[in-house]
Amino acid sequence: MSARRAASARARRPATWRTVFGAPLLVGAATLVGLASALFFEGTGWVVSWATLSLPLGLVAWHLWRGLAPRGSGPGRAAGRGGAASRREGTG
Positions in the binding site for another protein (CB under 8 A): 10-11, 15, 17, 19-24, 27-29, 31-32, 35, 38-42, 45-46, 49-50, 53-57, 59-60, 62-64, 66-68, 77, 81-82, 85-92
Q: How many CB atoms lie within 10 A of CB 83?
A: 19
Q: Crossing angle, helix 44-68 and helix 17-40, to 10 degrees?
A: 150
User: Rounded to the nearest whole angstrom, what is the least distance from the CB of residue 60 to another protein in the complex?
Assistant: 6
User: Rounded to the nearest whole angstrom, what is the least distance from the CB of residue 14 to another protein in the complex?
Assistant: 9
Q: For residues 33 and 52, is the Cβ–Cβ distance under 8 A?
A: yes
